[in-house]
Chains A and B, each alone.
Chain A
Amino acid sequence: MAFFDSIGRNAIGGLAYVGGLARLSGRAAYYTLIGPFRGKALRWSRAFHQAMAVGVEALPILSTITFFVGLILALQGAYELRKFGALQYVAGGVAVSMTRELGPLMTAIVVIGRSGSAFAAEIGTMKVTEEIDALTTMALNPIQFLVTPKFLAMIVMLPCLTTWADFMGVMGGAVFGVTGASFTFGGYVQATLDALLKRDIITGLIKAVMFGAVITAVGCYEGFETGGGAEEVGRSTTSAVVMSIFMVIIVDLIFTSLFYLLGR
């Protein structure tokens, strides 16, 4: 009985959490899309700085990780393909897995670690030090001022980073293709291009946009939910990371199923 009880309570808590995320995203969307027509200026320069922090500064670590992931994919794929003497399919396998799944996902993981946690820490600290209240008393809406620029930055940067991640993954795969299989570099790239369909790339980028929205919503929501005290900031940061990963996987599952059912 207690078991079902706790399932019920968790389900309700989960729904409330998603409701909170949706409300926050809705308000942020309002200030992004409708606000500018009602004299609430968008903060382009703040969004630009966020975009630099989210995107450009993530490039070195993202490049390294996705390069190795591409290489790992090639090795794992080759292990199976070798049995059938079908090593020439490694290029296509890597390309499709990267663009459809691992490019967006690895990008999301890196961005969660770097930016999702930072959003929660930044907003959480501002909550604890009454800076959020100070914004409010200065007639500056905290969501408009803090969250909207982050949404803009993330929704633009995640697809860009994902595209780069796809590219680095293919490069990683090419290293195996050239050294472990009998590809020339040009041949590997050609095989990749032949195997990829436009929809592989597009579905991946759609996911990336969704991941960007989810990570921003969770990071900011956890920040605003921070109670009093510095140790609470640490707690929200941790929970922003864990919840973001969880939510990204759920969104990934939903969209992957959707694309599957639509034959995309």
Chain B
Amino acid sequence: MSTPDTEKTLSVRDLRVRYGEREILHGISFDVPRGETLVILGGSGSGKSTLLRTLVGLQPATSGEVWIRGQDIAKLSEEDLDETRKKIGLSFQGGALFGSMTVGENVCLPLREHTQLEESTIQIIMRLKLEQVGLAGFENYMPSQLSGGMKKRAAVARAMAMDPEILFFDEPSAGLDPIIAAGIDNLILKLKKAFRMTIIVVTHELASAFLIADSMLLINKGDIVAHGSREEMEKSTHPRVRQFLDRVPEPEVAEEMDYLQMLTGEAPPRAL
């Protein structure tokens, strides 16, 4: 196993993750150079959210390594891990906004807790972040008063609050209307250009993926199927990649007997 390149902001080496007996990720390796955007594609339940949770240290890996900014996160002390976490932002698939705080307080929280900024400055930053995701004027709403798509955008604003070096988005534009979704794409491009942020995005929106990605990663049932630049992916002839990009459904169940088995959950009687 090669030692991870410290120039890379994020390196993953042979990562395996399991929930109880069930292994979800079966040995995943990839690098993300500083300032690049990686898009992670993959079917529902293939382990994308699990991968993100492991990358930020929420879910312990069974084996393998995650290196962030040149440090193996499994070997960091609680304090050092927290220092690293202050430099990353994660917007959760479900938003995970604090229900007891207003949208504005959600965005302000990390700033209030981790910086010495004046309250007036914090308020300005908060308004700016909300404006960037199209939620200007909603700072006094409670999360329960927002629609699903608005929660998602508020979560994106909160993840950006500390101007992190690495941003993780779990399906930021799922369930958003096309105009707002395009706005999120633009925001990601802008963050990359203006701040050289390293961005990792899980998404199902192919158009968006091809717009924002420097490189793409296709995961299927916990294995990397393909990893390459946007162009490489576009030209790929790998059947799984083509199936995903060309939106081909899974083939119909071939045999009647197999279909029966799927419905009843029993092995079909063997023909003599």
Contact = CB atoms under 8 A, between A and B. Distances in A.
B96 A129 contact: yes
B110 A133 contact: no
B85 A134 contact: no
A54 B83 CA distance: 34
B38 interface: no
Contact of B58 (A122, A136, A140): A136
A42 to B, nearest CB: 13
Interface residues of B, number: 23
Interface stretch (B87-95, B129-137, B180-188, B217-225): B87-95
A131 B89 CA distance: 14
26 contacts: A125-B99, A126-B99, A129-B94, A130-B92, A130-B94, A130-B96, A131-B97, A131-B98, A131-B99, A133-B53, A133-B58, A133-B96, A134-B90, A134-B96, A134-B98, A136-B57, A136-B58, A137-B56, A137-B58, A137-B85, A137-B89, A139-B82, A139-B86, A140-B110, A140-B113, A141-B82
Nearest to A38: B79
A33 interface: no
A138 B97 CA distance: 12
Interface of A: 122, 125-126, 129-131, 133-134, 136-141
Nearest to B161: A138
Nearest to B106: A134
B176 interface: no
Contacts of A140: 109-110, 113
A133 B54 CA distance: 12
B114 interface: yes
Nearest to A138: B110
Contacts of B99: 125-126, 129, 131
B92 A134 contact: yes
Contacts of A126: 98-99
Contacts of B83: 139
- Secondary structure type dominating chain A contacts: helix
A140 B81 CA distance: 11
A126 B101 CA distance: 12
Interface string B49-86: 00001001110000000000000000000100011011
A134 B53 CA distance: 11
A106 to B, nearest CB: 29
Nearest to A136: B58
A140 B162 CA distance: 13
A135 to B, nearest CB: 8
A113 B82 CA distance: 36
Contacts of B94: 129-130
A65 to B, nearest CB: 28
Nearest to B94: A130
Contacts of B78: 141
Give the interface centre of A122, A126, A134 by most chain B CB atoms within 10 Å: A134
Interface string B102-120: 0000000110011000000
Nearest to B84: A139
A205 B104 CA distance: 41
Contacts of B98: 126, 131, 134
A122 B98 CA distance: 11
Contacts of B90: 134, 137
B88 A137 contact: yes
Contacts of A130: 92, 94, 96
Contacts of A131: 96-99
A224 B99 CA distance: 17
Given A134-B97, A136-B85, 18 more contacts: A122-B100, A126-B99, A129-B94, A129-B99, A130-B94, A131-B98, A134-B90, A134-B98, A136-B57, A136-B58, A137-B88, A137-B90, A138-B109, A138-B110, A139-B114, A140-B109, A141-B78, A141-B82
